[in-house]
């Protein structure tokens, strides 16, 4: 404290002054901008349009773009504070190589040479499939497209997946099975046009708050929310269905049973556009209301009421997120949801759609272009025609394109454990916090010959284990596009250069391609993301996700365009587009499929040693593993610590009091000293904890069991016990 | 005052949005409208009216966009939030309800921040009724932070002054919504016009809500919408963990030593007046010096000590101003008294009487300023009892050192004062412990659990000290040791007074950032 401040002469007048900003009016002088850069938010998949305000080439404010059709100027608290991410202290600023046990700065040239040499070495010794790559949903589409080619054709491994498998691969698998292709059919506008909105395992008020605006714009709707926990969204509902954990599939089958029994189905639509109806009818006979009531814990009356509301609606919207996806029966549950939509003809109709609300800002981009679970442009590995078409577009021989998908994320990890994969490249994700049953992952990473972690932040729990850390540019420092949940492509722009020696992921991929000697073949003359975008437009042309009519200029102009938007499209860029409006699906015969998905109890039932069912989830202030939001002071202030929710009845039984520090213990591990929250939001017998906090990492106890089809982890249910933390740990 | 406030409203409804001007919204493209013009009034308040916040708790989803937007608008650091979001919860699973209270300043009809302010830093805007705070006039005494039942004014240590929500006065003047209103995705916050005399008659039903302190303290103007018929047992979620308040060490020293000086001067004067004892001149001067040092030290409590003199200015309204005034007069009279004693003037008796009366008045003002509605534990006769008993206890003991003739009588008084303090503390604790008022009960719990060691040590040492004074041979070193113990006990007692008070406040979230150690 200086002397003038001590006396009180100095009251930091300049810092706390206000000015009239030309665009935003009266505002703190700290936040006044001299220029603005339009971009798209880099957190979730809602895809809010944003304006970054810069003063003296530093980003000082982030504001909602009032002109963007998704958010109309609003942002969630993470978005409003997103500019602080760019000045976070723990940014990765230099390539780091492990030398005598310590991560030591090296030049980019050395880093890339070493990485290429190590990869070559592993490929020579064990074959190129011994290299694994785990990517993300956080990069721009252009980077996903580039990375896909680099990994599959340049490095030559198909053991390539993303953290999107922890997030929405279930929705992908479900859409593929029901409709023949990935791609959410609807639009946010459907929420404003539907008579009935059914949300299953989707806490949008917490996780996608800006979507609530679209619901609010539709006061006539009936909002039905199914969730085992009384979430903020459940409290908004007209009808709340407090289902038992993982009984969603039974509920959906029960609704389908009533729809068929009571004739609330669209027989014409079923006849013309679907297959498998008769088998479904037969299968659903067992799902009468009494059976479903026994599984879900709901009354037969409320199941009947909801089924009739859904069946009689002119347009019915079903939205879901992780409550459905984070399940070992997830894909089948998505198919059951799609069954409901198909039975009632609520696909591609205004207001009527089965709609997976996605997680990450550009999970959709990697689904479209990524070359992980499918070939770019939703092409199928299994289809020779698709492989040949793609090979022709790229001017390569078709046999270089794998005829089947490589290992999915959890299978890459188990291949590492089995020493089948010897080198791993992790990009823009933090599995040391996000992967289920973390100890297995830690053991696996120890087995590797070479671990490269590419991230905007260092140290993170994952970069600390790396042999090589590659510092990447973050959102706000690079250009490209994101696709949001409703297939709307929006532009992402750089406002500032990356810190230190950090580079955009795009530049890193091209440099590695140069080192590997595949740059000229795969990325001839590429310099900017626009080069990737132009090629991607050609590759997507004629596909469901047709980008060929989209240009960067048009994206800047209209603030987001929904695909498909082919060249010479007959609709305006701003128009709302839906998939399958004509009832023509992407299957061989153009018909959607019904699936008979039988309910099963979740794998690890509570028992005498572990009597509680643990549910995990999010809070509005934080994003994923908190590498970004943990660096933002205001968000930390608003949500400083993890907590464990427990019903008062259970707390009384265990003599636990609010704010007690407790350990959460499963057969796999122990999370220590979590602050207890005693609340009626959670049902007796269940507990809930957020998954954001590395310091209280709930994935120490979650179960590493995966959906057999999508390979998504079953994060939402496992058996735990709760103990008062011993004082000795203090 | 003639402001262009909101006059653009009639010309162009677009003006009210947190929108960079120059970008023309394309409203036709999407069903969700960002029209903001219905979120602020379309006209200026008339005579007898003012602006107020309306919070629709049914709509609020607790996303805290308003909090972040407010901090961004006002450039505040993360730990200062002029808008806060609290939680209340009730019901039984699955019929659970949780609501969120998003509150800035309530721009009260009778703002307690303003009436307590010793320097006139607060004004209630004549046109809009917005309670404005001037950082320039503020001296950082933080008395407003004790006076507000909602915890609205917050001290910024980086600046040395307080700050608070001004309903984004500057944005309203631009014809824009306040930042919180503009940021809310649920349109849960609005600005409305309220007729002040109607509100004064009927505020209770609309200004009070679960999780909020009674609007009676200051007549809050914020209107809260909540369908209370739907609620069962809804209550604050933040009451199970209460953190102690700041100890304010400078104020602990200031109050204990000024009370010691007042007590000692009064005891010396009484000895002089009634027992005809001659008062030694050096001790008298020392006591005056203690009083002056304590008063000077108290300026270090201020964020802006250089402007301490301004604290005198609002003596017509503020008890803090009156405290400063009476202690200044007491110090002046005490200096004169000590001076006259020094020169053995006969008129010292009159000066002593004067100093004694002013000292008693100053201690009254001192105690009176703590008795504010927003701090229920302080707002009782116990505060007066504690301050006067402290003066009697330490003052008589110190003066007994210098007045051998009356020292026996004085030390007997000391002993009885010590016993009285112990009794008063016991009574006070019982009152807190059995109270139905949350803030009082929570204060009792702080004493019972968090500060039990200090509380009991003081409670048991006081009678022991009395016994020593009444029963033992009182050699000089015993008496000096007793004085040291007595001062330590009073400092400890005053520490408890500051840290164990639980202020009224709006409900907070369940988890709060812990104060840095």
Domains of chain B: which residue ranges? 8-236, 249-499
User: Do B8-236 and B249-499 fold alike per CATH?
Assistant: no
Q: Do A637 and B78 touch (CB under 8 A)?
A: yes
Angle between helices A505-516 and A108-126 (to 10 degrees): 60
pLDDT value for B26: 38
For residues A437 and A500, membership in a common domain is answered with yes
CA of A149 to nearest chain B CA: how many angstroms apart?
36
The residue-averaged pLDDT of A328-337 equals: 97
Nearest to A212 among B33, B174, B185 (CB): B185
- Spatial distance between the Cα atoms of B345 and B349, rounded to a whole number of angstroms: 9
Name the DSSP class of A457. Answer: B
pLDDT at B353 over 90: yes
Within this chain, do residues A437 and A528 fall inside the same structural domain, yes or no? yes
Q: Is the domain of A407 the same as that of A474?
A: yes
The span from the CA of A428 to the CA of A430, in Å, is 7
**Contact: B89, A218; criterion CB under 8 Å:** no
Which residues from chain A sit within 8 angstroms of residue B20, using beta carbons? 23-24, 36, 51, 63, 66
Q: What pLDDT is stored for residue B480 in this prediction?
A: 87
Percentage with pLDDT > 70 across chain B? 91
Lowest mean pLDDT among A394-408, A615-629, B30-44: B30-44
Give the model's pLDDT for residue A629.
Answer: 96
DSSP string for A224-236: EEE-SS--HHHHH
* Residue B14 clears pLDDT 90, i.e. is over it: no
Compute the average pLDDT of residues A23-34: 94
Rounded to whole angstroms, the Cα distance separating A373 from A370 reads 8
Query: What mean pLDDT do residues A410-435 have?
Result: 96
Q: What is the pLDDT of residues A471-480, one digit of tens each?
A: 999 999 999 9
Q: Does A516 map to a domain?
A: yes
**Which of A15, A678, A681 is nearest residue B98 as measured by Cβ atoms?**
A681
Distance CA A520, CA A524 (A): 4
- The reply to whether A236 touches chain B by the CB within 8 Å rule is yes
Separation in Å, CA of A392 to nearest CA in chain B: 39
Residues 6+ apart with CB under 8 A from A395: none
- pLDDT value of position B37: 55
**Is A330 inside a domain boundary?**
yes
Q: Provide the residue range defining the domain that includes A46.
A: 33-87
Question: What pLDDT band is residue B272 in, cutting at 50, 70 and 90?
Answer: confident
CATH number at residue A50: 3.30.200.210
Peptide bond into A242 cis (omega under 30): no
CB atoms within 10 A of CB B429: 16
Q: Is the pLDDT of residue B517 over 70?
A: no
Q: Is residue B71 pLDDT above 60, yes or no?
A: yes
How sure is the predictor about B1, in pLDDT bands with cuts at 50, 70 and 90?
very low
Cβ under 8 Å to B: A residues 626-655:
633-641, 643, 647
Q: Do A244 and A330 fall into the same domain?
A: yes
Candidates B63, B88, B308, B442, partner chain A, best to mutate (most A CBs within 10 A): B63
Instruction: Check whether B33 has a pLDDT greater than 50.
Output: no
CATH number of B249-499: 1.20.1630.10
pLDDT one-digit tens code per residue, A253-270: 999 999 999 999 999 999
CB contact under 8 A, B75 and A28: yes
Q: Are residues A350 and A371 in the same domain?
A: no
User: Which residues of chain A make contact with B25, given a CB cutoff of 8 A?
Assistant: 66-67, 72
Same domain? A214 vs A343 = yes
Q: Kindly compute the dihedral angle of the four CA atoms of residues A67, A69, A73, A74, in this order, to the nearest 10 degrees.
A: 180
CATH number at residue A720: 2.40.40.20
> With the C-alpha atoms ordered B479, B480, B485, B488, is the resulting torsion angle positive or negative?
positive
Which residues in A lie closer than 8 A to residue B79 (C-beta atoms)?
A: 633, 637
Query: Which residue in A has a C-alpha nearest to residue B14's C-alpha?
Result: A66
pLDDT digits (tens, 9 = 90+) for A621-661: 999 999 999 999 999 999 999 999 999 999 999 999 999 99
What is the mean pLDDT of the segment spanning B134-149?
96
Identify which of B74, B97, B182 has the shortest CB distance to residue A28. B74
* CATH of the domain spanning B8-236: 3.30.70.20
Give B159's contacts in chain A (Cβ within 8 Å).
11-12, 16
pLDDT at B513 (0 to 100): 79
Closest residue in A to B307 (Cα–Cα):
A8
Contacts of A75 in chain B (CB under 8 A): 65, 183
**Interchain pair B75, A216: CB under 8 A:** no
**In the predicted model, is pLDDT for residue B25 greater than 50?**
no
Provide the mean pLDDT of chain A: 96
Beta bridge pairs of residue A615: A688
Q: Which of B62, B68, B307 sits opposite A8 (nearest CB)?
A: B307
List the single residue in A26, A214, A681 with the smallest CB-CB distance to B32: A214
Shared domain for A343 and A449, answered yes or no, is: no
**C-alpha–C-alpha distance, residues B265 and B384, integer Å:** 19
User: How high is the pLDDT of residue B29?
Assistant: 37
Read off the pLDDT of residues B383-421 as tens digits, 9 standing for 90 and up. Answer: 999 999 999 999 999 988 877 777 788 888 999 999 999
Closest residue of chain B to A560, computed from CA coordinates? B29
Q: Check CB contact under 8 Å for B30 and A69.
A: yes
- Answer yes or no: do A416 and A530 share one domain: yes
Q: What's the pLDDT tens digit per position in A113-147?
A: 999 999 999 999 999 999 999 999 999 999 999 99
Of all residues in chain B, the one with the smallest CA distance to A684 is B93
Of the candidates A645, A718, A643, the one whose C-alpha atom is nearest the C-alpha of residue A679 is A645
Can you tell me the ipTM of this complex?
0.96
Q: Which two tokens stand for residue B417?
A: 């004062």
> For the residues B461-479, what does the mean pLDDT come to?
85
d(CA A311, CA A305): 10
Query: Does the pLDDT of residue B17 top 50, yes or no?
Result: no
pLDDT band at B516 (very low <50, low <70, confident <90, very high): low
How many Å lie between the alpha carbon of B226 and the closest alpha carbon of chain A? 14
CB B179 within 8 Å of CB A73: no
Residue A467 shares a structural domain with residue A516? yes
Q: Please give the average per-residue pLDDT across A181-202, as a whole number.
A: 96
Whether the per-residue pLDDT at A86 is higher than 90: the answer is yes
Residue A577 placed within a domain: no
* Residues A626 and A514 both lie in one domain: no
The answer to whether residue B13 scores a pLDDT higher than 70 is: no
Q: Are the C-beta atoms of residues A683 and A645 closer than 8 Å to each other?
A: no
The pairing of strands A131-135 and A423-427 is parallel
Q: Which of A26, A232, A557, A572 would best serve as a mutation to test chain B binding (most B beta carbons within 10 A)?
A: A26
Please compute the mean of the pLDDT values over residues B176-186 and round it to a whole number: 95
Return the residue of B nearest to A675 by Cα.
B511
Q: Do B179 and B72 touch, CB atoms closer than 8 A? A: yes
How many domains does chain A contain in total? 5
Would you state the pLDDT for residue B347? 86
pLDDT at position A633? 96
For residue A228, the domain's CATH number is 3.40.228.10
Q: Is residue A276 part of a domain?
A: yes
Residue A547 near residue A563, CB atoms below 8 Å: yes
Based on the fold, state whether residues A623 and A716 are members of the same structural domain: yes
Both A416 and A521 in one domain: the answer is: yes
pLDDT of residue A728: 53
């Amino acid at each position: 404290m200086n002397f003038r401040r001590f006396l009180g002469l100095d009251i930091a007048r300049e810092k706390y002054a206000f000015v009239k900003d030309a665009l935003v009016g009266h505002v703190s002088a700290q936040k006044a901008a001299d220029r603005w850069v339009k971009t798209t938010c880099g957190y979730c998949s809602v895809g809010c349009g944003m304006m970054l305000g810069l003063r003296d080439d530093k980003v000082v404010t982030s504001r909602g773009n009032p002109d963007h059709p998704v958010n109309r100027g609003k942002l969630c608290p993470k978005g409003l504070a997103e500019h602080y991410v760019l000045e976070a202290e723990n940014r990765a600023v230099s390539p780091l190589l492990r030398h005598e046990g310590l991560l030591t700065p090296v030049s980019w040239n050395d880093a890339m040479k070493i990485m290429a040499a190590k990869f070559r070495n592993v490929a020579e010794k064990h074959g190129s499939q011994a290299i694994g790559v785990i990517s993300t949903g956080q990069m721009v589409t252009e980077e996903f497209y580039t990375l896909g080619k680099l990994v599959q054709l340049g490095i030559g491994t198909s053991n390539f997946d993303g953290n999107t498998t922890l997030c929405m691969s279930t929705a992908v698998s479900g859409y593929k099975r029901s409709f023949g292709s990935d791609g959410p059919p609807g639009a946010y506008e459907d929420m404003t046009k539907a008579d009935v909105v059914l949300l299953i395992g989707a806490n949008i008020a917490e996780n996608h708050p800006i979507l609530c605006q679209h619901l609010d714009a539709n006061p006539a709707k009936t909002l039905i929310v199914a969730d085992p926990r009384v979430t903020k969204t459940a409290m908004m509902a007209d009808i709340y269905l407090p289902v038992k954990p993982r009984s969603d599939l039974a509920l959906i089958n029960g609704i389908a049973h009533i729809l068929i029994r009571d004739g609330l189905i669209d027989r014409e639509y079923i006849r013309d556009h679907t297959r498998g109806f008769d088998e479904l009818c037969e299968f659903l006979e067992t799902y009468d209301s009494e059976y479903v009531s026994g599984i879900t814990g709901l009354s037969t009356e409320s199941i009947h009421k909801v089924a009739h509301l859904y069946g009689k609606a002119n347009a019915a919207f079903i939205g879901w997120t992780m409550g459905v996806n984070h399940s070992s029966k997830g894909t089948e549950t998505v198919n059951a949801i799609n069954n409901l939509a198909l039975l009632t003809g609520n696909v591609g109709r205004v207001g009527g759609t089965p709609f997976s609300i996605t997680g990450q800002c550009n999970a959709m981009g990697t689904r479209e272009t990524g070359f992980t679970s499918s070939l770019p442009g939703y092409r199928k590995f299994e289809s020779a025609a698709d492989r040949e078409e793609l090979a022709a577009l790229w001017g390569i021989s078709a046999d270089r394109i794998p005829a089947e998908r490589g290992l999915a994320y959890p299978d890459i990890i188990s291949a590492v454990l089995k020493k089948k994969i010897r080198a791993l490249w992790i990009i823009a994700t933090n599995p040391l916090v996000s992967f289920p049953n973390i100890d297995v992952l830690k053991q696996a990473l120890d087995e590797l010959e070479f671990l490269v972690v590419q991230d905007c932040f260092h140290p993170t729990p994952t970069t600390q284990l790396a042999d090589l850390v590659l510092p990447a540019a973050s959102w706000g420092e690079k250009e490209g596009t994101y696709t949001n949940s409703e297939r709307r492509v929006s532009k992402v722009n750089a406002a500032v250069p990356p810190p230190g020696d950090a580079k955009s992921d795009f530049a890193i991929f091209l440099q590695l391609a140069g080192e590997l000697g595949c740059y000229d073949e795969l990325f001839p003359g590429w310099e900017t993301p626009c080069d990737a975008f132009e090629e991607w437009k050609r590759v997507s042309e004629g596909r469901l996700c047709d980008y060929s009519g989209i240009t960067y200029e048009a994206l800047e102009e209209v603030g987001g365009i929904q695909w498909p938007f082919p060249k010479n499209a007959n609709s305006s860029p701003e128009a709302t587009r839906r998939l399958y409006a004509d009832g023509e699906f992407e299957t061989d015969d153009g018909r959607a499929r019904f699936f008979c998905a039988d309910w099963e109890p979740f794998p690890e039932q509570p028992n005498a040693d572990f009597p509680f069912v643990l549910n995990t989830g999010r809070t509005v202030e934080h994003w994923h593993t908190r590498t970004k939001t943990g660096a933002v002071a205001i968000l930390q202030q608003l949500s400083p610590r993890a907590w464990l929710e427990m019903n008062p009845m259970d707390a009384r039984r265990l003599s636990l009091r609010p704010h007690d520090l407790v350990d959460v213990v499963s057969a796999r591990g122990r999370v220590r000293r979590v602050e207890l929250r005693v609340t009626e939001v959670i049902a007796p017998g269940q507990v809930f904890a957020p998954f954001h906090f590395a310091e209280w990492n709930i994935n120490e106890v979650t179960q590493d069991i995966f959906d057999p089809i999508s390979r998504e982890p079953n994060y939402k249910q496992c058996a735990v016990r709760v103990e008062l933390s011993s004082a000795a740990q203090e | 005052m003639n402001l262009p406030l909101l006059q653009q409203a009639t010309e162009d409804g677009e003006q009210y949005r947190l929108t960079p001007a120059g970008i023309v919204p394309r409203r036709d493209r999407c069903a969700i409208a960002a029209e903001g013009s219905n979120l602020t009034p379309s006209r200026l308040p008339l005579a007898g009216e003012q602006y107020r916040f309306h919070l629709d708790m049914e709509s609020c989803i607790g996303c805290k966009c308003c909090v972040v937007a407010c901090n961004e608008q006002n450039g505040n650091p993360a730990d200062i939030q002029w808008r806060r979001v609290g939680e209340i919860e009730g019901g039984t699973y699955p019929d659970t309800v949780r609501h969120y209270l998003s509150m800035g300043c309530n721009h009260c009809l009778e703002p307690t921040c303003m009436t307590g302010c010793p320097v006139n830093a607060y004004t209630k805007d004549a046109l809009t009724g917005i309670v404005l705070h001037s950082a320039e006039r503020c001296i950082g005494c933080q008395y407003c932070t004790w006076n507000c039942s909602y915890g609205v004014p917050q001290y910024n240590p980086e600046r040395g002054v307080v700050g608070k929500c001004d309903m984004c006065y500057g944005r309203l003047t631009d014809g824009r919504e306040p930042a919180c209103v503009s940021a809310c995705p649920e349109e849960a916050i609005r600005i409305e016009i309220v007729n002040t005399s109607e509100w004064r008659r009927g505020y209770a039903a609309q200004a009070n809500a679960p999780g909020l302190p009674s609007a009676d303290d200051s007549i809050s103007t914020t209107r809260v919408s909540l369908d209370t018929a739907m609620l069962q047992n809804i209550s604050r979620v933040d009451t199970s963990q209460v953190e102690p308040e700041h100890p304010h060490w400078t104020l602990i020293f200031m109050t204990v030593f000024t009370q010691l000086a007042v007590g000692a001067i009064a005891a010396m004067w009484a000895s002089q007046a009634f027992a005809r004892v001659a008062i030694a001149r050096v001790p008298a001067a020392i006591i005056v010096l203690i009083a002056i040092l304590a008063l000077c030290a108290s300026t270090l409590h201020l964020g802006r000590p250089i402007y301490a003199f301004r604290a005198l200015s609002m003596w017509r309204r503020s008890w803090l101003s009156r405290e400063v005034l009476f202690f200044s007069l007491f110090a002046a009279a005490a200096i004169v008294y000590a001076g006259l004693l020094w020169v053995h003037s006969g008129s010292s008796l009159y000066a002593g009487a004067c100093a004694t009366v002013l000292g008693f008045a100053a201690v009254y003002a001192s105690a009176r300023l703590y008795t504010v509605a927003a701090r229920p534990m302080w707002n009782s006769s116990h505060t007066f009892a504690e301050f006067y008993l402290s003066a009697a206890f330490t003052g008589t003991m110190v003066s007994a050192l210098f007045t051998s003739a009356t020292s026996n009588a004085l030390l007997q008084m000391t002993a009885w004062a010590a016993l009285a303090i112990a009794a008063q503390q016991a009574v006070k604790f019982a009152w807190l412990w059995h109270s139905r008022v949350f803030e009082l009960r929570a204060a009792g719990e702080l004493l019972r659990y968090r500060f039990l060691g200090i509380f009991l040590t003081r409670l048991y040492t006081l009678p022991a000290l009395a016994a020593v004074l009444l029963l033992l041979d009182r050699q000089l070193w015993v008496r000096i040791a007793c004085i040291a113990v007595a001062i330590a006990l009073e400092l400890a007692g005053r520490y408890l007074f500051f840290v164990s008070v639980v202020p009224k406040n709006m409900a907070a979230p369940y988890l709060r950032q812990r104060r840095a150690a």
